[in-house]
Structure 1
Amino acid sequence: MGIAAGTGSGSPMLLAALVLVGALGLVMAAAWLMVRQRRAELDRREERLMAELHRLHSQEDELAARTAETERLRTELGELAAERRRSLERTAGLTADQARAELVRAEQSAARREAAVSVREIERQAKADGEQRAREIIASSIQRLASEQTADTVVTSFPLPNEEMKGRIIGKEGRNIRAFEAVTGVNLIVDDTPGLVQLSCFDPVRREAARLTLEALVADGRIHPLRIEEAHGRSSEEVERLCVRAGEDALLAIGAATGESAPELVRTLGTLRYRSSYGQNVLGHLVESAHIAGMMAAELGVDPELVKRAALLHDIGKALSHRVPGGHAAIGAEFARRHGESDEVVHAIEAHHGEVEPRTLEAVLTQAADACSGGRPGARRESVEAYVRRLERLEEIARSHDGVSKVFAMQAGREVRVMVQPDVVDDVRAQVIAREVAKQVREELTYPGQIRITVVRESRATEFAR
């Protein structure tokens, strides 16, 4: 009974002991397997290291062999160089130092020759560049002088009483300045210059009318499109009166009676007060030519009055040449014939450039007086005449298209403003006109930079409240 009871109570402890022994066995087995795997891995790593060490030993042996071969080749090369030098010395009869000195002398001589050639080339190039630079400086100086003279010819400065007036002239969103340019055909330049604006136009008569218009507008203070049109109308009439007065003064200057000349001839002669030829004022040139012709006629015993009249009118065609095709001599002769001038005067006008053979003494004296007045030092500059002709040709090209009402060459010929009739030309046709004018200008004219062609199509509606 006692034994049975003790056995029954000891069975769990025995089972636990058995389980613990089994677990320890498993742990020891796992540890043993791990040790075997670790040992196998270490063996493999040792084999790799031994193989790498063997390879390094092989490379070291190969490098030592190559180093020895390099030293042997270097020694052989040194011996060959020494032998070659000895051979050269024996052949040339010179030592190495002597040969080096001879080589240096030869190189120095060659360097001196090359330096001399280079110096001559540099001097030649410098001389050519100097001449080219001198020509550029002279041309630039002449161009600047011509530009100043051209600016004086085509630009009029107009003083303003205050800076506020610039804003009135420009108007809301530029309305007034656009209307002014459209009505007068003159470019109005408003820049940062204090108290000053500029009027730019190659036609001096048109520019003078614009100046008087702007003067009236500034004096009145009310500036808007309708006032601009009214002021320009009055200014144009004033310029007409000034032209008539200038023509009468020119006739009086040579001692001719103004009542004997046709009014249209007097007015046309007066317009030359605002024109220049080769930089010389045409009306002043005519009066000067008349005085010279009169003095020569008096010396020769010829009637000076007839000769002076022929000389005074010989360039009157220049007032019409921009509207009538042909040379100004033929145009002036026909104009004088229509207004009752004598055959002697008409012949002197048409023959003063040799286009017609001079048959009278008056014609010959007119030629001589023209040459004396135009040929004196400082009288003329050809650049202005060519410039004005180019601008006149620009306007002629644009005016030749159908539907064009007004054409103005502006901004010293850099822009052509073309005003078209809105009831004849639509928007598409306006684009076509601009393109055709630009194409014709490119084909016919030579000009610096670029020229902008602006076609303006404007419709107006006017009613009166009564």
Structure 2
Amino acid sequence: MPNYIIYIVLAAVVALVAGVLLGRRLAGKARHDHEAQAQARAQQLLQEAEAQANRTRDERIQQSKDKFRTLKNEFEQESKRQKQALEQELTERRATVVEQEQSIKRLTETTQKQLEQLQRKEQDLDNLREKLQMEAQQQRERLDSQEEKRRLTLETQQAKLQQKEQDLDARVHDVQHQLETIANLSAAEAREQLVESLKNEAQIQASSYIKDVVAQAKLSATKDAKKVVLETIQRTAAEHAIENCVSIFNIESDDVKGKIIGREGRNIRALEAATGVEIIVDDTPEAIIISGFDPVRREVARLSLHLLVKDGRIHPARIEEIVAKTRKNIDEEIVEIGERTIIDLGIHGLHPELIKMVGRMRFRSSYGQNLLQHSREVANLCATMAAELGLNVKHAKRAGLLHDIGKVSTEEPELPHAILGMELAKKYKEHPDVINAIGAHHDEIEMTAMVSPLVQACDAISGSRPGARREMMESYIKRLKQLEETAVGFDGVLQCYAIQAGRELRVMVNAENVSDERAQELSYEISQKIEKEMQYPGQIKITVIREMRAVAYAK
């Protein structure tokens, strides 16, 4: 091989080796430059990341500070509102506490007054009880004296009887001796005559002894019965007051009288027309008189006046609204009175309608005696007597409370109140003994239950107390009711009220159905009917009131 080729090959090899070395060097340099750039880039990115992190941290810290300030402001505002609300609530509670303290103070004063009244009543009751005990002691002493006299008389009679027996024995002995000596009788015949004589004498003595025992039993029974009645009256003593037809409404100032009368008397006329009572406004200081025979009407008028004076707005429309509201409240009060009465007496399972009638008794009177107080007393008397006699106390008390229930019913008023009460008791599923006691307490039906005579006796005991009843009051109220019912039967009459103690009859008519001319004719016709059907002293004024009202609605 030629040398130049070798040189060329060597040169190529050297060149190749040099190229390889140079390439490696260049590659290492490029790699070193690339690593330097990468490190610089990484350092730059790290610096940028740190800067971004610092900025983000500063922003988050600023946002946190802003949010903290916002929450702090909201918390301070909320705390301020809650503090104001608490202060307001505390103020209201303080006012409520003050009001309650005043109410408690008034209640304490009222309770103290009631306690004083109760103490006075207890003192009166103690005095009455002592008086009755003294009378009972005197009665017992008289009975003991009579018993002692009867015992002495009986001993005297026994001594006389023994003397007669001795005389009789002596006579029998003489007769036997005479029969044996004079009549020449045998011992057997004499014995037979003697036995017959002794037998007749024994029959006579037995008859006399039986009569004495029967008389002694009757005397003991009468004494025991009187004792039961006397002890029952003593244990069930009660006060009685005669209700009248007048109620007093007290006012703070006489200036209120002018508001009640109203312009040209329109307010007082509206009040009288709505309640059916007579309002008397005279010179009596700080008082207005409410007159009417119906206690419910008087109570409605009194409460309505109280609400009107308290409100201050007194005009015809307001009067009618208050009277309607008061009547509703009175109905609720009647139910409450009935429930309280049966709870006080321990009576259970009474029908709601009978409870309502019991409450209505509070506003009714019988011969001037309050019907509810009378019925409560009869119930207590019946319970006491039934306990003494070993009868059913629950039935006796129930019958005593309901015995006059027919007097407050509006159904079939022409029936006697005992029969009407008996029908009501049947209607509401009362016990047969209670039904019979109600119907028989005035002898309208035959008594078949043991509690019936108790109810009759206790009704008489309650009504016969001094001052408990007054016959004239009952007949007076019946006459006023008959006077009102006489005018209600005419066409066009809406309401009718007897006032002025029955001297005036006010008739409210429908203005749409009754003209002015017809109103005059109606007053004359009513007066003629009253003259024909009723008996009364003096004269009765008939006033027909026709009021025209125009009503329209704005929409």
- Shorter chain as normaliser: what TM range? 0.5 to 0.7
- Give ranges in structure 1 of 5+ residues lacking alignment: 1-148
- Give ranges in structure 2 of 5+ residues lacking alignment: 1-239
Distance (whole Å) between structure 1 residues aligned to residue 411 and residue 543 of structure 2: 22
Structure 2 counterpart of 1:313, one-letter code? L
Q: Is contact 1:268–1:319 with CA below 8 Å preserved after alignment?
A: yes
What whole-Å deviation, never above 9, does each CA across 1:54-90 have from its counterpart, x for those lacking one? xxxxxxxxxxxxxxxxxxxxxxxxxxxxxxxxxxxxx
Partner residue in 2 for 1:436:
525
The answer on 1:313 being equivalent to 2:402 is yes
Partner residue in 2 for 1:171:
262
Partner residue in 1 for 2:414:
325
Partner residue in 2 for 1:202:
293
Q: How does 1:279-358 map to 2 (within 5 A)?
A: 279-320=368-409, 324-358=413-447
Q: How does 1:70-219 map to 2 (within 5 A)?
A: 153-219=244-310
Q: Is contact 1:321–1:327 with CA below 8 Å preserved after alignment?
A: no
Deviation (angstroms), 1:161: 1.7
Distance (whole Å) between structure 1 residues aligned to residue 445 and residue 526 of structure 2: 36
Partner residue in 1 for 2:457:
368
Q: Is contact 1:321–1:331 with CA below 8 Å preserved after alignment?
A: no
Aligned to 1:341, the other structure's residue is in SS state: coil
What whole-Å deviation, never above 9, does each CA across 1:26-66 have from its counterpart, x for those lacking one? xxxxxxxxxxxxxxxxxxxxxxxxxxxxxxxxxxxxxxxxx
Q: How does 1:7-86 map to 2 (within 5 A)?
A: none
Q: Is contact 2:363–2:370 with CA below 8 Å preserved after alignment?
A: yes
The structure-2 alpha-carbon separation of the partners of 1:323 and 1:387, relative to structure 1 and needing over 3 Å to count, comes to: farther
Q: Is contact 1:406–1:420 with CA below 8 Å preserved after alignment?
A: yes
Deviation (angstroms), 1:374: 0.7
Distance (whole Å) between structure 1 residues aligned to residue 283 and residue 412 of structure 2: 37
Structure 1 counterpart of 2:287, one-letter code? L
Give the root-mean-square deviation of aligned CA atoms: 2.0
Aligned to 2:289, the other structure's residue is in SS state: strand
Deviation (angstroms), 1:322: 8.9
The structure-2 alpha-carbon separation of the partners of 1:441 and 1:151, relative to structure 1 and needing over 3 Å to count, comes to: farther
Normalised to the residue count of structure 1, the TM-score between the two structures is: 0.65
Q: For this pair of structures, how many residues does the alignment match?
A: 316
Structure 1 counterpart of 2:384, one-letter code? M
The structure-2 alpha-carbon separation of the partners of 1:334 and 1:323, relative to structure 1 and needing over 3 Å to count, comes to: closer
Structure 2 counterpart of 1:231, one-letter code? I
Partner residue in 2 for 1:131:
none
Q: How does 1:443-458 map to 2 (within 5 A)?
A: 443-458=532-547
Partner residue in 1 for 2:340:
249
Deviation (angstroms), 1:152: 5.4
Partner residue in 1 for 2:323:
232
Distance (whole Å) between structure 2 residues aligned to residue 424 and residue 349 of structure 1: 45
Distance (whole Å) between structure 2 residues aligned to residue 150 and residue 298 of structure 1: 28
What whole-Å deviation, never above 9, does each CA across 1:115-174 have from its counterpart, x for those lacking one? xxxxxxxxxxxxxxxxxxxxxxxxxxxxxxxxxx99951110101121111111111111
In the TM superposition, structure 1's runs of 4+ consecutive aligned residues that sit over 4 Å from their partners are: 149-152
Distance (whole Å) between structure 2 residues aligned to residue 265 and residue 291 of structure 1: 18
Structure 2 counterpart of 1:318, one-letter code? K
Q: Is contact 1:317–1:331 with CA below 8 Å preserved after alignment?
A: yes
